[in-house]
Structure 1
């Protein structure tokens, strides 16, 4: 049996893919740095070996899959090339693997992970499926009918995939270290649309997505009239949101999701449209109501009178959506945003937009920018953002007890770097 070796197995996509191969009966191992990541627990549960990096990990006959974070001069990649073993980059292997299934790619600037999780949850109630979610969760099944996976637009990696279906949640300017403009991003999504074989489910409320030209049917969803699938009569309840779905202006059914905020309704609509297109009955699709969420997306806990939320939001639009969700779920509490910008290029590009989105919170704390190894700071510091955010405070890692002052409040720790260390530090000293 072939052994699959993952270089950088703790990466979110990599750990999910390793789990899928393991569940599908393959022999799997991997290597990574020693620092502990939240993706590790699932790998350890399945007893998938994780080794420190060394060229000795690479053996004749292995199939080697390398994470995109590692350059060609990495010691294990060099060794793999020397031995001439079968070698893939993550996105290249995924493009090959999904050919066995009815594949559904979930893509978009925002909402990919939550929507992938939601779709996987619903289909998993009815069929044996495989899925790969960008929070590090992966599941394989030898008899899978569907393969649901998150497809990332960064560096146009999603162009390695030729899926049967694609859900497109939105097109927005992000990853400014790679994309030059919104038009550059649009061109990438247009190329992705050209790769789809059977159908596209797209948000019709998104102006950019309306411009997509496709060779396959496009089903549009959204709040606006004119969408094929439209949400109406939205009502917030004590345990989530209820809304009616109209299919081409005819009432279809009422659905409930255990989340708050318009972006969650849109994500759910895309899943309802996809499942309806594939012939699932409404009763099966209604299992959407039992979805428990994905990692690092509005993950909640309570400490005293405070609600602590961990969220991956790292773009102004995502920050706005997360604050909106908190306001709708906790209308009588103050919202405290604790934000760590991710990459200097993104911070510089969206400096004013970050300030505008954060100003929607009642109080704002800012953590030093989490830089990327790929970039230079260009003299930008967190002070440049602080000047634009009303009454904001720079949060020091050894002074997090200041957050205890916010009684009966919602504290949202947001970012794609290591913002969790600030949350962990605060939880250790919180006195509420």
Structure 2
């Protein structure tokens, strides 16, 4: 993967690109959506002649960006995947049970052990990339579908991407699953937590969130504030600043974000420092949950609030 921050991805010369989404982000460098979209178009146009753009047909920004790129480079092969795609990489969602989510990519039945529809979409993108690589190697991709399907089912997630970092029991013997996730954009937070709600339907979900950069938080304040609907309890920390920006407490703070989140969620707590957050969360996890299967506790963000999870895990070690 490459990063769009400060156009870092322009240093790469890929043969194929997977475009999962394009949204307003990195506002200190890209003040408008058009600014960041133009950067993505420029990156796509670095593809070689007859290069391939595998893009998510379910993401408005990705589709619009593909259209703009096609006007500049009609030779590129544009390959859609997702629910709104047609053909080999059309995605159809099935049931979620037994710690798996089931779906189809084209006509191929697949399953993942990681939660969230966004991960199924990512699986379809990976499937499409493998398909095209096999074609380029002169092989018949259909002969490898079983191997691709088995590979997806064996996948257990990546570092800081819905990563299970610990398990414990509270004083009532109820299970606690500790998860760490890098989600730091409102869309990522919302879709990831919705995936947890579907996957861990009989758990109480508590999330500790640390927003990353003052400019992003200020630009997307209401989007952040309304992104926690799938959680039962939200603890918000101070903002994790960037070396390239100055903290302007008169514009936005973690406390301001928490106050806005209270407009959308009935159970939001502001805990500026990690020690305070850990104490609040430990106390909550040691209450008898009315959820049948106990608790899921998630640390979420691109900052260093994963330390809150580490602190709480230590409290439950026997």
Query: What TM-score results when the alignment is normalised by the length of structure 2?
Result: 0.82
1:7-53 deviation digits (Å, cap 9, x = unpaired): xxxxxxxxxxxxxxxxxxxxxxxxxxxxxxxxxxxxxxxxxxxxxxx
Shift of 1:226: 3.9
Q: Secondary structure at the match of 2:309?
A: helix
- Mapped to 1, the partners of 2:229 and 2:115 lie a distance apart of 20
Report the counterpart of residue 59 of structure 2 in structure 1. Answer: 206
Match of 1:46 in 2: none
The answer for the alignment partner of 2:111 in structure 1 is 256
Q: What do the CA deviations read for 1:229-249 (whole angstroms, capped 9, x no partner)?
A: 211252213131121222xxx
Aligned partners of 1:311 and 1:412 also within 8 Å? yes
Across the aligned residues of Structure 1 and Structure 2, the Cα RMSD in angstroms comes to 1.8
Verify the 8 A CA contact 1:219 1:228 in the aligned structure 2.
no
Does structure 1 conserve the Cα–Cα contact (< 8 Å) formed by 2:57 and 2:85? no
Q: Name the structure 1 match of 2:127.
A: 272
Within 5 Å, which residues of 2 pair with 1:87-236? 150-197=1-48, 198-211=51-64, 212=66, 213=70, 214=73, 215-224=75-84, 226=86, 229-236=89-96
Tell me, in whole angstroms, the C-alpha distance in 2 between the residues paired with 1:222 and 1:428.
41
Counterpart of 1:392 in structure 2 is 268
Match of 1:402 among 280, 289, 292: 280
Distance in 2 (CA, whole Å) between partners of 1:378 and 1:168 is 33
Unaligned runs of 5+ residues in structure 2 are 135-140, 170-174
Larger relative contact order, structure 1 or 2 (CA cutoff 8 Å, min sep 6): 2
Helix, strand or coil for the counterpart of 1:306?
strand
User: How many matched pairs?
Assistant: 278
Cα 1:313/1:431, change in 2 over 3 Å: same
* Uncovered stretches (5+) of structure 1, i.e. residues with no partner: 1-149
The aligned residue for residue 339 of structure 1 is 209
Q: 1:233 to 1:207 in 2, by over 3 A?
A: closer
1:168 Cα offset (Å):
0.7
Please give the secondary structure, in 2, of the residue aligned with 1:361: coil
2: distance between equivalents of 1:241 and 1:173? 29
Deviation at 1:225, TM superposition (A): 5.0
Corresponding residue for residue 184 of structure 2: 314
2:203 corresponds to 1:350: no
* Alignment-derived partner of residue 240 in structure 2: 370
Task: Provide the rounded CA distance (Å) in 2 between the counterparts of 1:216 and 1:201.
Answer: 10
Give TM-score scaled by structure 1 length.
0.61
Paired position in structure 2 for 1:19: none
Contact 2:22 2:62 in 1 (8 A): yes
Q: Larger radius of gyration, structure 1 or 2? A: 1
1:424 aligns with 2:284: no
Deviations 1:96-134 (A, max 9, x none): xxxxxxxxxxxxxxxxxxxxxxxxxxxxxxxxxxxxxxx
1:232-251 to 2 correspondences below 5 Å? 232-246=92-106, 251=107
Deviation at 1:360, TM superposition (A): 3.3
Instruction: Report the Cα offset of residue 284 of structure 1.
Output: 2.4
Q: Find the partner of 1:302 among 161, 167, 192.
A: 167
Residues 365 and 431 of structure 1: is their aligned pair in 2 closer, same or farther, counting only changes over 3 Å? farther
